[in-house]
A and B are shown apart, each in its own frame.
Chain A
């Protein structure tokens, strides 16, 4: 007779893989994929990351000088933002949270428009018709609310037999929410063309990753929903591009959803209304700076693509000029007038609200 323990059989076992191609100093850890050996592509990515970083820094500076509302900086997350922006095809759809300004920047949204949003003007969220971001969703503000919405987008693609993919990002904190679990689980059932990317920056405001969830990885939350889950070093642009592109291609081909946990670090405070020094060790932040995504790609470009100090200086000057123009445009954009308050409340304003709208526009009592 078997003992009770012997009578147990293994019905499933799982593994989680982490992809990393470059070490912190930009040295290759393996033979890199073909795409990574095209210097123009990497220079383009590096330029995008530099633009994102300059934008992040300027946005915080504008807030500090009273010219912008509360801002949630994505400093340190430039590589994963850029990889997503570069991986998405024009017809793919992106849904993300407020910290990932880098994706709409990569998808053609002008910097001035994103500043307009953070300056308090919701018109900043209506992406221009002419850019790839046109079908993308506005920044989700309630944490994780974008994740179930991505199911609907992917469902529409699947119903219409389109070879498109949906990509949705959320933070590590959002992966604690029911919205997230419900969406991952249902996406697996319906094999929807959606890629979930957890941008794990290690902090949910003041709550560190270790106190959010006891699981070893967040990627395994995909396994719980019956979909592929894997980790990538989100500060390694080349690895992140590779993993995101592979996942998107799978989704477009009809092979189903995937979850990617991109490991990165929130170098900034949660928002400009926060002071992370109250709950976070300076030593931890110093260590995280050693994994800086820009420095790592820069080292690779210098070593492999002949990128010089002059190239860097020129790039920084160009990026600064773009940011400068954007700030001028943003500051010169007038706030919407009170007459516009009701313009977009409904697809068509019901007559029951005409009187209030008229009064708000200065037309007399409601």
Chain B
């Protein structure tokens, strides 16, 4: 008789994938433990750790006080002592309370001492859930600038598991950006493979010849939808899923752009100094003589994320805009 829901479920969501991968790593390596607000009995704000307390005990599923700075610093100390903490930020937005331990401790400690800091910072991020200006933000650019961190942003159910496994096993501090929007919307048939997906390797999510769309996280799903629509118009879009923002697999991107001669970069973070600016700049330097059109960015407006549904839709990139922009660039 099946003992838990996972074994009878016919589908695995993006959220299930994170939960299963985390449980598998905690099972495999007793130095891995989860900490954060309400992760214990409550199972986490999004129920990633539902049942973990019973399964792994309160010592390895640590309910922290509401003290992001304090518990992130604590994770640094524990990681430096050889444990592998996985920190759940209830919403990625709250990580601004913990800038100092991430930037000045986690990202510096190995540089200063040669002692690794194997910690995974799980950040439910992004908008489209009508959660408003302090529960919808994209935080990747704040941290992409900091030497010594890695940043991972899975776009698929399989990668949500595989990249989390690699992040936990990595000997560096890793920000793991989980798309709240994809949590329950994205699903694949069970069972899910729980093999590690290497960090720093991008993926061609869809092959194409006319224009390259570079994105990560929810943007990849938008890109795939747009590519499907444009295929019917005879426009062939190649979709690149960065998977890891730091380190960035620029070679895979450059190879694609040299083939298609056109590049569009898409993300949900605000446009100004969004991570797309970095990707666009790298493409510009590496592919200048191959380009038939300016590298174009699609991003959120430079405003906070409003709670109001029509306003949030106006701020964040919509699939229609992705289709139009790709069409325009492909035909330019």
A residues near B (Cβ < 8 Å) are 93, 95, 122, 125-127, 135, 137-138, 140-142, 145, 147-157, 159, 178-179, 182-183, 185-186, 189, 344-348, 350-353
Contacts and interface: CB of A to CB of B under 8 A. Distances in A.
B81 to A, nearest CB: 4
Interface in B53-68: 59-60, 62, 64-65, 67
Given A152-B79, A156-B78, A186-B67, A126 B114 contact: yes
A345 B80 contact: no
B214 to A, nearest CB: 15
Contacts of B105: 140, 142, 145, 149
Interface string B66-92: 010111111111111111010000000
Residue in B74, B76, B80, B110 whose Cβ sees the most chain A Cβ within 10 Å: B74
A182 B147 CA distance: 27
Contacts of B50: none
Given A148-B72, A179-B70, A185-B70, 13 more contacts: A122-B111, A138-B109, A138-B113, A148-B77, A153-B80, A156-B77, A178-B67, A178-B70, A185-B65, A186-B70, A186-B74, A345-B147, A352-B249
A150 B70 CA distance: 10
A344 B112 CA distance: 8
Contacts of A141: 104
Given A350-B200, A352-B250, A148 B104 contact: no
By secondary structure, the B interface counts as mixed
Interface in B130-150: 147-148, 150
B171 interface: yes
Contacts of B85: 152
A137 B115 CA distance: 10
Interface in B92-112: 100-101, 104-105, 109-112
By secondary structure, the A interface counts as helix
9 contacts: A137-B77, A142-B105, A148-B71, A148-B77, A153-B77, A153-B78, A186-B64, A345-B111, A347-B118
Contacts of A157: 81
Contact of A159 (B59, B70, B248): B59
A148 B110 contact: no
A350 B247 CA distance: 7
B112 A138 contact: yes
Nearest to A350: B247
Contacts of A140: 105
Contacts of A156: 77-78, 81-83
B73 to A, nearest CB: 3
Contact of A152 (B59, B73, B116, B150): B73
Residue in A152, A183, A185 whose Cβ sees the most chain B Cβ within 10 Å: A152
A154 B70 CA distance: 14
A159 B76 CA distance: 16
A106 B229 CA distance: 70
B113 A183 contact: no
B73 A145 contact: yes
A152 B112 CA distance: 19
B77 A149 contact: yes
B70 A151 contact: yes
Contact of B74 (A126, A127, A152, A345): A152
Contact of B76 (A127, A152, A186, A346): A152
B260 interface: no
Nearest to A140: B105
A195 B172 CA distance: 28
Contacts of B77: 95, 137, 148-156
B75 to A, nearest CB: 6
Contacts of B71: 148, 151, 182, 186
Contacts of A178: 67, 69-70
